[in-house]
Structure 1
Amino acid sequence: MTVLLADPEITSLPVLDTGERLVPVPADTAAPGAERPLVRSGVAARLAVAQLLLPPGRRLRVVEGHRTPADQLAIWRRYAAEVRAAHPGAGPALQRRLTSRFVSPIEVAPHVAGAAVDVTLVDRLGGEIDLGTRIDATPEESAGACCTDAAVGPAAREERRLLVAAMTGAGFVNYPTEWWHWSHGDRYWAWSVHAPAARYGPVEAPLLATAGR
């Protein structure tokens, strides 16, 4: 069974925060003209490495980085309502687990820690590549195709393979129900790599953001 962010294996892990600042993602990983998402400085450095690990003709595109706790809570509540409607017979514990397939509980949320990015691939002209579903496609709407190892078409499967190779090569771990979600330093990363503690905990962007966005 897939270990999810709401599971005790993840929520029980401690956090020893490094105090790294939030910084903008590398310019060449952001959409042209768009505000660059914020991430911890160590995450930004690893994104630069992942970019270098992609083959010619493919580039990373970071769609989202840090989220405020308020934004995370709003996303959780919205999707939890969808889960309740789709699974009316599920009890509270099961509904929480089903919700955490797609949205992290706020207390362990990698995006709130500045540890996670949602990414896709683009071509040399900036055109988005098809990886089988849109970013943020829920398990319900995609019939599970949002899962990284889902049975998608051969072209999308190859693109996912390229993304996985670059991101894992740079030290990120994937949340297996979302092909686009990658993190480093959060509790899910710590559990995945058998680290004794997470490196990043919740952080507020206005307090730690650097200049140069």
Structure 2
Amino acid sequence: MSSSIVLMSDRRVAAIPVQDCGEDLVDVRRHGVHVDDRKRDAAGAWTHVRQTVLTRLLHAQSLLPAGVALLFIEGFRPPALQKQYFESYFGQLARANPLWQAAELREAASRFVSPPEIAPHSAGAAVDVTLVDHQGRELDMGTRVNASPEESDNRCYTDAPGLSERARTNRATLGAALSAAGLINYGTEWWHWSFGDRYWALQTGQPAALYGPVERP
């Protein structure tokens, strides 16, 4: 685990206050974003993000090279679902590492699933995205989207060593566009980018998060 990556479980993230600006959640499908349905839910929550997040996502799209587009995998995730994901992964790690203490398990789990109380997805502030070519085929990013550290041998980390030149270039292309649009990456997940949440506030030196958890679009 890279010591330079601030994890979601870090106390400094939870210490950031939230001053929710009250922006609505909006459906990216209505704004020309390519959306994958692997995270589809019955209520259609997965395609929603806060308005400014969408604006910045569209700006990032405009910065990509010709013939390359963003593929939106998941945005908003209801708090109850986030809690389910976190507890499930925490349990997997506990079974695989019976000698680990609760604090160790929480830290390790937060590499891949954010603790529910501070989760950017549950604030409508985060997007999981990748790149596709002009035929809609996903580009080689070195791992699949949502590959765990265990599955990928830590190649899910954005700056992981040992990637092919093509995967490294594609990650750099994705990162350049999203960074220029004002989103920040979670360094353990190359596909996860956010704006306005507590993690964003800590990483960009803002005094408070713009978005806190919401229940439904």
Aligned equivalent of 1:58: 68
**Which residue among 172, 178, 200 is the counterpart of 1:189?**
200
User: How much has 1:28 moved relative to structure 2?
Assistant: 2.7
* Structure-to-structure mapping, 1:1-213, within 5 angstroms: 1=3, 2-25=5-28, 26-31=31-36, 37-151=47-161, 152-205=163-216, 209=217
Deviation at 1:124, TM superposition (A): 0.8
TM-score (norm 2): 0.91
Contact 2:33 2:72 in 1 (8 A): no
Q: Deviations over 1:58-82 (max 9, x none)?
A: 1001100001111101111111111
Letter in 2 for 1:30: V
Shift of 1:27: 2.4
**Segment drifting more, 153-162 vs 22-31:** 22-31
Q: Write the letter of the residue equivalent to 1:29.
A: H
Q: Provide the rounded CA distance (Å) in 1 between the counterparts of 2:96 and 2:185.
A: 26
The offset of 1:86, in angstroms, is: 2.6
Aligned residue pair count: 205
> Structure 1: which amino acid aligns with 2:210?
R
- CA drift at 1:174: 0.3
Structure 2: gaps of 5 or more residues: none
Residue 180 of structure 1 aligns to a residue in which SS?
Answer: strand
SS in 1 for 2:62: helix
Secondary structure class of the residue paired with 1:63: strand
Moved segments of 4+, more than 3 Å: none
By how many angstroms is 1:87 displaced?
A: 2.1
Given the two structures, how large is their TM-score scaled by the length of structure 1?
0.93
